[in-house]
């Protein structure tokens, strides 16, 4: 199995930047598609970004295109989410996920982290 632990969350003002990390253990993540999802209070979990195992193919929700960047370092067994120009509507718990995916935006990932809180103030 794979354990995923998110870090880097916190409070930031609108327009600022934040970098989230997802550290994996148990097995290498080199063969997995990795993704970030987020969930605001009272709302369903939604797709944010995904990256294929090669690192050459990335996917983003329309709401974050041009502002967020997903990347991976397989040697460090870590995935990142660089969040720039953040908005109050980005406030949510952010979750890291891993899976052998065909449809990268699906919620059917095999492994999930416990999440890290991101709060954006105006």
41-98: pLDDT as tens digits: 999 999 999 999 877 799 999 999 999 999 999 899 999 999 999 999 999 999 999 9
Pairing of strands 116-121, 58-60: unpaired
* CA dist., res. 97 & res. 79, Å (int): 10
């Amino acid at each position: 199995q794979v354990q995923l632990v998110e870090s880097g969350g916190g409070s930031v003002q609108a327009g600022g930047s934040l970098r989230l990390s997802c550290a994996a253990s148990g097995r290498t993540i080199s063969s997995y598609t990795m993704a970030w999802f987020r969930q605001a209070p009272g709302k369903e979990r939604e797709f944010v970004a995904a990256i294929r195992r090669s690192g050459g193919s990335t996917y983003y929700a329309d709401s974050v295109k041009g502002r967020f960047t997903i990347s991976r370092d397989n040697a460090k067994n870590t995935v990142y989410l660089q969040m720039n120009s953040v908005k109050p509507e980005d406030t949510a718990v952010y979750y890291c996920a891993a899976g052998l995916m065909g449809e990268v935006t699906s919620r059917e990932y095999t492994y999930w982290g416990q999440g890290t809180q991101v709060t954006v103030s105006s």
